[in-house]
A and B are shown apart, each in its own frame.
Chain A
């Protein structure tokens, strides 16, 4: 047989967060805890299909008028409109002025990718491969890959996490924005920053917006946790809406994976806010071209679930309640973990655990301490020290707190 054209294909390293879960699965230790991948878990440590989702799936299953025909390229119209409304608010001036557009996408990742592909082609002229893209340090590790694969050649980081004070490095962030070339693209986490859980305050957002406006920087929001972070949709969308009210044109990549628990249905939406209808229409026409060569048209099931829920006042209220259940449990785990660490007298300060928001916490554990946690205590977390609060339960809180205490005191 002739030599293969793939002989030279090297073995790629596994995606870290999924490898972590794979290792966790293979671990036979009964004390094991998975604080890795970002999916919600109940207090029994189980995945949770939202009750409203179960109800709506039944409604869909019983609806004989529904079939499996192709959705339009840009997605299910009722989904698109409702999804963008959730992000921008019922009374959004942009919606009233008919200058928003939506692209149903395969999860938040898909929305980011379509947005990135569009920006590379059309943002500021016709070829933006050299336009700088700024991603927070640290950020979700896939952000970098999305923009690289979309063709951007100049990807930079902006200061974000201050490890010493375990909080936002606002001055560093603002400096980076002042120094960034005009028209640079900035990826902003709308709320519940992944992985640090540290968000700017409204005042800090105002300062960020002022610099971005003055320097013509483009805001590309990643909103994966709306509702899930604080329990309030409005609060979690405050930054996006503020930017809109300041007259920005922007993109917002939305995910319904966490707040609807629809992880594997790949439900996402790219919201586009423009100056006027005409601009948005032209943008959408080009988005269609990009979608057509990527996935042609998006999957139907998840979008139907979300659209049905958001369009019905009763189902919407039920969903809101389910979201609050998740957010509240996370908040409880935060306060419980913090209080245990403080009771144990674990060296360091632990208020960041309750000050941070969303699914994740940047514990401050260093790689050696993380390795100790995994190898000796069978507690799986990312090398960055990021833990998924959802992996904590009333049953494992004590064990995790004691293990962190050990790691911090034994390993430096």
Chain B
């Protein structure tokens, strides 16, 4: 008999399973509004022009394939920190941060989760917004942490339940970990306004909570990288030393190249060095060192002025197309004669929209 006789069949992934079902469907009218990857107006994947240019530039340099350091490509991690924090950020300029390259958003989140499990002895609980990206829960759980939630989405209004969130957060025990979506909340598309972020920051600070930001859509949400990073930067300015996970899957279309970064804002550069040394100890037994290709493309774009300019235009282009789809969907629904309020479709931001459709309607 087999060693694996008792292994249960795992359920299909709820998100990726939708795409599999789509692929199996033979109907000519089929559409896939499931998995989170950008599509152009022809419904096709979009390789950014700045990405193609960066790839050509890289190819012309004929570099070797030597192992990266455990923490990844330095040009990439530095540029990622600057992109998130802003070049004028005191935290960035003083060097009181550590940024390591991670395997896109998931890998970056997991590094942080493992780091917290090992070193954040004060708390085991991670508070997620309700709802959150489906993979957050298993990531933190597999890292050995416990999951809790705070109210976030109000299904009656299809918008933010701000008072509910504030109530719940005000009661989170001190030294718990709270996860916040920096922008373009996944799956609801509902983001706090800036005044609301300010109140959240004040409450979180008062409750002495450890803040972990997941930023998977910088630039992709509003079309403006600074606007999308506003919450992260505000929290840091308020003296909240956050953890941050970044992904370049969507905003640079680098999905399968797995480019991401994990950052810890520290008290000072010396602490950052200690934290970095421990992150290396965590990463080495996971995959030794990260893949170069995506990080090198991203670094080339961020660090080459012309390419960076072009990228900002292209990411805005993607964001604008999404915003225009929202607008047109609402106007078309009205044209179809719907008297239901669809304002949430245009109020929400980013790739996803919580339509309000019930399971039977889905």
User: Using a CB–CB distance below 8 Å, which chain A residues touch chain B?
Assistant: 1-2, 4-15, 18, 37, 39, 46-49, 53, 57, 61, 67-73, 105-107, 109-110, 113, 122-126, 142, 145-146, 148-150, 218, 249, 257, 261-266, 274-276, 279-283, 285-286, 288-290, 292-302
Contacts and interface: CB of A to CB of B under 8 A. Distances in A.
Given A293-B135, A300-B256, 8 more contacts: A9-B274, A9-B275, A13-B277, A142-B285, A150-B285, A266-B287, A266-B288, A275-B2
Interface of B: 1-10, 13, 16, 35, 37, 45, 47, 51, 55-56, 59, 62, 64-70, 103-107, 110, 119-120, 122, 135, 138-139, 141-143, 175, 208, 210, 239, 241, 249, 253-258, 264, 266-267, 271, 273-275, 277-278, 280-282, 284-294
A68 B291 contact: no
B198 to A, nearest CB: 20
Contacts of A69: 37, 45, 255-256
Nearest to B296: A264
Contacts of A281: 9
A264 B278 contact: no
A151 to B, nearest CB: 9
B67 A123 contact: no
Looking at A49, A53, A106, A296, the one whose CB has the most chain B CB atoms below 10 A away is: A296
B9 A264 contact: no
Contacts of B13: 73, 288, 292
A283 B37 contact: no
B267 A4 contact: yes
B139 A295 contact: no
B266 A6 contact: yes
B319 to A, nearest CB: 18
A282 B239 CA distance: 48
A395 to B, nearest CB: 20
Contacts of A109: 284-288
A289 B138 CA distance: 9
B106 A296 contact: yes
B55 A61 contact: yes
A283 B104 CA distance: 25
B110 to A, nearest CB: 6
A383 B285 CA distance: 21
What 5 A-B pairs are tightest by C-beta distance, nearest first? A106-B287, A300-B256, A145-B285, A285-B10, A296-B106
Contact of A68 (B5, B68, B69, B257): B257
A94 B47 CA distance: 39
A281 B10 CA distance: 10
Contacts of A8: 119
B300 to A, nearest CB: 14
B10 A7 contact: no
Nearest to A143: B285
Nearest to B5: A279
A9 B286 contact: no
A404 to B, nearest CB: 26
Contact of A70 (B66, B255, B290): B255
A1 B236 CA distance: 12
B265 to A, nearest CB: 10
B313 to A, nearest CB: 19
Contacts of A283: 4, 7
Contacts of B105: 296
A299 B274 contact: no
